[in-house]
A and B are shown apart, each in its own frame.
Chain A
Amino acid sequence: MRRHFTLAAAAGLAVALALTGCSGSAVSQSGGGASSSAAGGEIVIGALHPATGAYAADGQQMNNGAQMAVNAVNAAGGIKSLGGAKLKLATADTKGEPETGSSEATRLIQSGAVALIGTYQSAVSTNVAAVAERNKVPFVMDVSNADDILTKGYTYSFRLQPNASTMGSLGFDALQNIAGDAHKPVKQVAFLYENGAFGSSTLASFKSKAKAAGVKLDPVIGYDAASVSDMTTQIQQVSASGADVLAVAGYYRDGVLVAQAVNTVKPKLNAVFGVANGAFDQPQFVKDAPNGGDGYFNANYAIDRSNPDALALAKDYQAKYGETMRTSAAESYDAVKLVADAIDRAQSKDPAKVRDAIASTSYKPMAANKGPVHFNDKGENTNAGLIATQILDAKIQQVYPAAGAETKPVYPAPISK
């Protein structure tokens, strides 16, 4: 069945390219028409996530989150302006590969998806955004932070989460405020980053903020997240530099290596501070890191724990899937809900009209935000926010900003005991 689809999509794409010279709008609309008549009025939303491969943990959670949103919309009576039409989620496995991302996006569009969400990885989203633009089908990024996806003048792509440079600058603000409130202002930050697009752009914006605030950034150490297997030398460099804070922009496995090395070298630090770190706010990190990662900070996009709806969602997720809901899954939930709301307001499943409705959204998300989602002309969510968490008593607790905090931050953090 699936092979059949892929073949059909490939053949369709080849014909479309040959006949229309890359303007694929006719293709997507005829595809949408054909599918909706076959599916009996169902509205298809395509979800592209890495369900297998190294990022499967997040990918599968994100598909679950998206499915929960579809279920919630259907349970509440479907899309009301279209006579209660039901939503249907079509998932595709990107395997974490950019080329698979674009072929699967094409397949979903050909089989009638009115909107796409995804994809967790910036490299994959870059390709999917190009496919979405070419076919004039809206694409809402749940998780993908590289700035340059949305600097190409695309009109059909939108991003819910803060981009990498926003996370770098908001992360620095969070660190400075937490340290300032504890009357131990930050003097020198050691910055450890994965040297891909995410780490580098986070570093760039963190650096300019630090420079403006007169905080010394030294040493700055990059590493290759895919192959690194030991961080002891890097942490020894941090220890020798006399920095009072270690900031880390990286992913899960390397985050655990950092924690192991910090526990081995025991540098004198006031804090280990994650900047959009993929490890320091994961429930699993508490099990995997030495001393349960006690005292580790992370400034990251997150489920808004001051919002009762978000807490209820996380609880439902736990009950349904037996594991703690990750922020990425909440972002996928938000992406589907936002698209459903746009379809309702557009009173149409024409992708171009849905796109216009998405552009004027004011959806209230489950992820921590400074207000309702608002997209600027580039497609960035101008209200995207982040919060800081700290691991205290083996629990990941929201400590910043003070308004939604579950508890007060402990600074200097008890990291080297």
Chain B
Amino acid sequence: MTTTKPAPPSAPPSAVVHRATRSFSALAPQRTRHTLLTTAAVLAAAIIWAGVSAGSGTVLIQALVTGILTGGIYSLIAMGLTLIYGVLHIINFANGAMVGLAMYLTLTFVDGTGGMHPYIALIVVVPAMLALGAVLQAILLNPVMRAPLQVQLLITIGIALAVENILLLVYGPNPRSVALPGNRAVKIFGAAVELSRIYALVGAMILVAVLWLVLQKTRTGTAVRAVSANPEGARLVGINIKRIYVLTFAIGTAAAGAAGVLIAPFSTIEPTAGSIFNLTAFVVVVLGGMGNVPGALVGGFVVGLTEQLGALIMPGQSSLLAVFIVFLVVLFARPTGVFGRAS
């Protein structure tokens, strides 16, 4: 299903070392058209194949709808990851743990307020995570920003281990859950969907829009993009890059926090509940172009749909098999991701 994707002639082999220079901005129209056409063709072929394998229209529609919805969840979780990578060039292994932490904060909020609506927890959890992200960057990561990559990597792994084990210590190992008032199933073209998952998708869209607006339309956003494109240049024009690093890591952590609140109602809340998405989130980030915020949304849909259609085409295999086949083919054809660009 994926062999139809031709290698674009313009991708240089050195493109792996791409900077996020223009990945925050719109793509060249011709290239985007090319990518979208190929994606649409591959998707159509996969849908037909999956439909034939499933032998039932309802099952196929369910797979498509579920693919879009789980894709929304994946991109929601990947959003903070890609933002932090785009600006700080740190692969944040603590992203999943932060999502897990936000789930527990939601749980504590709902229990502590006598069963208030879990989405109201956003008002508390997002600022709390924003502050946590700022503190972590200022104290732990800023001092080592010039150190080799693995130093920052190990620090984020350390943060992840610390967060998960503190959660284990404080809340104990038993799984928990948060109920969403008024959550019920609705039908979309014969496919059954829980409302809570639709809300999470809407939340992902809003989050992308907000991040996009902040990055494109505000002075701070411009400074963030400047640091991402050229830290030395940004410093020369008087931008305090350490402060921008703190701000970006804080926003990235807050995005993980928002993701945690939105997925809490349909998740089993355990200390490792966020890190189970780590692998998928990395795939989403790379597919969408590392550092590309809208790309993460598209990357999420690609992974979600691949999982669902792949499970119909190759029954009995791990859904990750199809995801990684697509992943490898895309990396081979477009080393910078579907929507990433070489500088």
Contacts and interface: CB of A to CB of B under 8 A. Distances in A.
Interface in B185-207: 185, 191-194, 197
Interface stretch (A50-58, A161-169, A352-360, A366-374): A50-58
Given A232-B66, A237-B54, A263 B175 contact: no
Given A227-B276, A227-B319, A266 B59 contact: no
Interface residues of B, number: 42
B312 A233 contact: yes
B56 A221 contact: no
Contacts of A312: none
Interface string B123-152: 000000000000000000000000000000
A216 interface: no
A125 to B, nearest CB: 20
B174 A236 contact: no
Interface in A333-359: none
B248 interface: no
B168 A56 contact: yes
A287 B268 CA distance: 11
Interface in A230-281: 230, 232-234, 236-237, 239-240, 252-253, 256, 260, 263-266
Contact of B268 (A224, A236, A253, A265): A253
Interface residues of A, number: 38
Interface in B249-279: 266, 268, 270-272, 276-277, 279
Interface in A39-87: 52-54, 56-57, 59-60
A195 interface: yes
Contacts of B315: 219-222
Given A237-B54, A265-B192, A224 B177 contact: no
A223 interface: yes
Contact of B185 (A52, A54, A264): A264
Interface of A: 52-54, 56-57, 59-60, 195, 219-224, 226-230, 232-234, 236-237, 239-240, 252-253, 256, 260, 263-266, 284, 287-288, 323
B276 A323 contact: no
B173 A237 contact: no
Contacts of B66: 230, 232-233
Contacts of B193: 232, 264
A59 B266 contact: no
Given A230-B197, A288-B177, 7 more contacts: A52-B168, A57-B172, A220-B316, A230-B70, A236-B59, A236-B192, A265-B62
Given A56-B173, A236-B58, A227 B318 contact: yes
Interface string B28-52: 0000000000000000000000000
Contact of A284 (B175, B192, B279): B175
Contact residues of A: prevailing secondary structure: helix
Given A232-B62, A232-B66, A260 B194 contact: yes
B308 interface: yes
The residue among A224, A233, A237, A264 with the most chain B CB atoms within 10 A of its own CB is A233
B205 to A, nearest CB: 18
B311 interface: yes
B297 interface: no
Given A253-B268, A288-B175, A233 B192 contact: no
A59 B268 contact: no
A59 B66 CA distance: 34
B157 to A, nearest CB: 14
28 contacts: A52-B165, A56-B173, A57-B172, A59-B173, A222-B315, A223-B311, A224-B318, A227-B318, A228-B319, A229-B276, A229-B277, A230-B69, A232-B191, A233-B62, A233-B311, A234-B311, A236-B63, A236-B192, A237-B59, A252-B175, A256-B177, A260-B266, A265-B62, A266-B185, A284-B174, A287-B177, A288-B177, A288-B268
